[in-house]
Amino acid sequence: MPKWDRDVSYEYALTKIMEYIQKLKLEIRYSYRKIRRLRHLYYCYVLLLCLTNGARVSEAIEGLNKFIINGKREQEVKVRQCRTLETRLIIIPKIISDLDRYILQQFMDTTRSGVTIFATRELGFNPHSLRYSFISRLIRKGINPIVIAEIVKLKTLNIILNKMQEIQANNILRDIIQHDTILNVNLRQW
């Protein structure tokens, strides 16, 4: 069974996305292929919202588009995978500037598949794994599973509880091995 976050840690993904954003901003200044790079910048911002809000790609796209239109840093978006009219909060980080709002207006037609293809080819991970990296981060911080489920709008707690058990089991195993004096004896003494 594949790992649920596909071994994409929050810190790794954040670093990778931020480095790519910086690279794109430099290339946009000095490049003749600005339209393609601007679209990639839009994709990176969507991925950043997926990571920092635990959002699905379509929720992040909707949140970014609403920010482009109204400039508010907190956006209510429709929860995907939900038959009711439930909404969730998407918070736009400060790195997405007001200037970006005007520049990126032309890319508001972006599709989920475009973001997924970009993330897989350019950054090497599936965007949905960013959602689970966010959840894993909250679990490691000791946030209550009910609160996590409410933040990311999961239907059941099973996913979170299973991941919590896995993390706790791994931590206990690490602790046992690290504190076992026989296993930590220097091999030169043998």
Find out whether 68 and 105 touch, Cβ atoms under 8 Å: yes
Find out whether 135 and 166 touch, Cβ atoms under 8 Å: no
- Looking up tokens 């946030």 gives 143
Collect all residues with Cβ–Cβ distance below 8 Å to 130 and sequence separation of at least 6.
8, 13, 47, 50, 51
Q: From first to last of its 190 residues, what are the pLDDT tens digits of the chain?
A: 345 445 789 999 999 999 999 999 999 888 777 899 999 999 999 999 999 999 999 999 999 999 999 999 999 999 887 667 889 999 999 999 999 999 899 999 989 999 999 999 999 999 999 999 998 899 889 888 888 888 888 777 777 677 777 777 877 887 877 776 555 555 555 4
CATH class label, 10-154: mainly alpha
Query: What's the pLDDT at 86?
Result: 87
Which pTM value belongs to this model? Answer: 0.82
Angle at 53 between CA 50 and CA 59, to 5 degrees: 55
Nearest CA to 53 out of 150, 185, 166 is that of 150
